Amino acid sequence: MRRLISSLILAGCFFSATSFSLLPQQYRDFAQAQTADELFYTFYGQKIPLDLRRDTVAVSFKPRNTRSRSIQPLYLQLQQDLRRGGGNTRSIGSNHRSDVDVKPLGENIALVNLPSGTRASLNTVQLQIQKQPYVQEILPILSRKSQSASPETKSESVIVLPNEIVISFAGEMSESQRQIILLRHNLEVLRPLRFSKNRYLVRSKSVSGTEILHVANQLTQVAGVQSATPNFIQATSDHMSQLLATAANLPETPHAAERLQQQLAQLPQPKDTPISSNLLPLQWHLNSTPRRGQLLARTDIRATEAWRNSNGGRGVVVAVIDSLIQWDHPDLVKKTYKSGDRSDKLPGEEYGWDFSSQGEGDADTRLSSQEMSQIQAEFQDTFKLPSDQLLKKYQQLSGILKQRYPKASDSEIAHRIRNLIRAEIGSEFHGTWAAGVIAANSEDKAGILGVAPHTQILPVRVFGLRGAINMASLSEAIGYAASRNVDVINMSLGGLLPDEGLTEQIFDVLDAHRNLVIVASAGNENLDGVGFPAGIPGVVSVGATNMTGNRTFYSSYGGGLDLVAPGGEIQNSLSGGILTTGGTWLDGFWQGMSVPDYAWGLALDPLGKYVQVQGTSFSAPIVSGVVALMKGEDPKRRLSRDEIVSILNQTATYDGLNLSKADANRYRLQKEVGFGTVVDAPVSRPSGIFPKAKPVSAQEYFFGRGLVNADAAVQAVKNR
């Protein structure tokens, strides 16, 4: 029986043109029932419209048998061949060879982009790409345009469309019935999805390109098919780049080590805390008193008080489903959950699993040598190249910034380029950032502390480089984490396309594990209605506040929002961010060059061992850490998920929270015209899940049930 979400709304953007003429006859009748210009897929019967990108394509490469750093990455090889006419191709144009920009996306895909105004056409570029012997196929790129972004940060999303569909069959279907459906639609099974029931990754043997959308749509009409959704490869790096754009003009901090010690000498350590570390006074989200003083209201989660009344989350495991999780960071290395002997243990599994890799995946969620080879050069460019050479090498980015800041000097543009590249590369360790927020605790007490410093993390990687993610991998990752009997799953990811199969998987996992709590970030779109997957019923969605107690400028609100927690803001000061563990301290980033004596970009220190960041991606792990503290006081796991979430809601508070004038006025408008109805309502809810249609107070509209209170939540669990 198909599950239904009762309140759905069409979410998306304007239609774009495509042709159905290449479809087999069995699909044409269904396709012609639609408008012939539509590109879309469905989410519980609702169309999610998509556009075809005309300025860029994706390229998948043939597999190579080595991961050695000594071999040039294929995306760089392709860029060189397209720009300079190497390999088996002629150059695209002698005057415009540098127009083509190639960026890696995950392990085996690259994005080939033509900037506006170039003489070369995309068709010409595709012909040249096809001649390369190492190229497997060219894939279309779709977009779902954001209507919420400001003109300065607005960009089209990147959604790669492979010839893959995730299909879910009804449980009562026999194997022979499934095979008949697959044969009739000319589909072959690539593999069954692991840690999932009745779900398969399939490909079409008769169509390719955008036609796979229509195949998936047609399958949803077939009896016995519970859901069928293209296995989109989404790139979340653009969302992260927009959020971190505020860091583009951050100044460098000279003599960073001395400055940091001077700053710490002026800040008191929180009083009477059983757990401490050198950098704790800077972690305002745990206790804001050192930063705000005794007279101003607390805007933190009262973690230090919770530590006095708890065991710090001992005996609890939190799965971090995210990007690179560098669990050998000194503040995390002793906090990583180690897999024991089990019948379903994956090959080589020890510390979690990497579902972003091809095939069965990888036992290591950390940065590989191959990945280091893809990002090291750009990182080092920002330190080695003088401004004129940097502007020349990154002329496309330079051109964009010069248009955006016409009065900026070349040196100012170069400074912004350095910060943007460093922020982009640093954000590859988004999973390390989230893990640090939850459980960091260094043995020498020289670093930071997580919300639950005695809990353990299970690293589960689903993002490849540049935020590449697909729903098949995410579905497997969620099932894997649940199969390892974790207590909490943290998903600091949002803005994904709503996916029916993933929704079903989360429902299945929640039904099978009554004590498991899943926490997700509400989204950074500044919209009424949380993103996907936070909007799925049963998932705790978390918005973000700043150090002054306001909703952050980016945090989504309204429909589906459960709670808020500190998420940080670095617009006015980097110290307003959430301090956590970074990843650029690895030796490979600094090989062959000197480490600077200044702090740069988001980094607190010259190596980037610690960073100060912003986003609902960090308010979510704060709540996951609070749940870990709560479960640490319930060692026999007597409290169900519903009881834990109920305590979270009941103990949350509006104390210390403030409505900005802009938000107060926004609420007045919504109260008059109806909650959940805004000017751009058709595109305002990325999750595709309609918010609850009921009157709420201004505080609940923007803060859900309030700011999570770790101490009160722990006390309530102990009182049970």
430: annotated active-site residue? yes
Biggest CA pair distance of the chain: 75
Which residue stretches of 317-470 are H helix? 369-384, 387-393, 395-404, 410-426, 430-439
- Residue count of the chain, please give it: 720
Rg (C-alpha) for the chain, rounded Å, is 25
Distances (CA, A) of 423 to 25, 285, 646, 662: 49, 22, 37, 29
Q: DSSP string of 461-502?
A: E---GGGEEEHHHHHHHHHHHHHTT-SEEEE----PPP-HHH
Structure tokens at 428: 């590859």
Structure tokens at 694: 């009921």
Buried b (16+ CB within 10 A) or exposed e, 348-382: ebebbbbbbbeeebbbbbbbbebbbbbbbeebebb
415: annotated active-site residue? no
Q: 3-state class of 458 per DSSP? A: strand
Q: Which residues contact 643 (CB under 8 A, 6 or more apart)?
A: 720
Of 566, 712, 698, residue with least CA distance to 653? 712
Cα–Cα distance measured from residue 629 to residue 716, given in angstroms and rounded to the nearest whole number: 12
Which of the residues 323, 617, 684, 687 is marked catalytic?
617
Structure tokens at 408: 């900026």
Place of tokens 């972690």: 283
Could you tell me the strand order of the sheet in which 187-192 lies?
A: 187-192, 199-204, 165-169, 225-230
Could you tell me the strand order of the sheet in which 563-566 lies?
A: 353-354, 456-461, 317-322, 488-491, 517-521, 540-545, 563-566
Place of tokens 């500190």: 566
Residue 7 amino acid letter: S
Q: Which residues contact 683 (CB under 8 A, 6 or more apart)?
A: 11, 12, 13, 145, 146, 147, 148
Decide if 482 contacts 509 (C-beta within 8 A).
yes
Cα–Cα distance measured from residue 59 to residue 73, given in angstroms and rounded to the nearest whole number: 13
Q: 3-state class of 338 per DSSP? A: coil
Cα–Cα distance measured from residue 30 to residue 14, given in angstroms and rounded to the nearest whole number: 21
Bond into 533 cis (ω within 30): yes
Which of the residues 430, 454, 487, 624 is marked catalytic?
430
Q: DSSP string of 66-85?
A: ---TTSPPHHHHHHHHHHH-
Cα–Cα distance measured from residue 533 to residue 32, given in angstroms and rounded to the nearest whole number: 32
Which of the residues 81, 99, 101, 322 is marked catalytic?
322
Cα–Cα distance measured from residue 424 to residue 163, given in angstroms and rounded to the nearest whole number: 29
Structure tokens at 443: 């043995």
398: annotated active-site residue? no
Cα torsion 432, 436, 439, 440 to 10°: value is 120
Helix, strand, coil percentages for the chain (3-state, nearest 5): 35, 15, 50
Cα–Cα distance measured from residue 496 to residue 499, given in angstroms and rounded to the nearest whole number: 8
Terminal-to-terminal C-alpha distance of the chain: 38
- Which positions are catalytic? 322, 430, 617
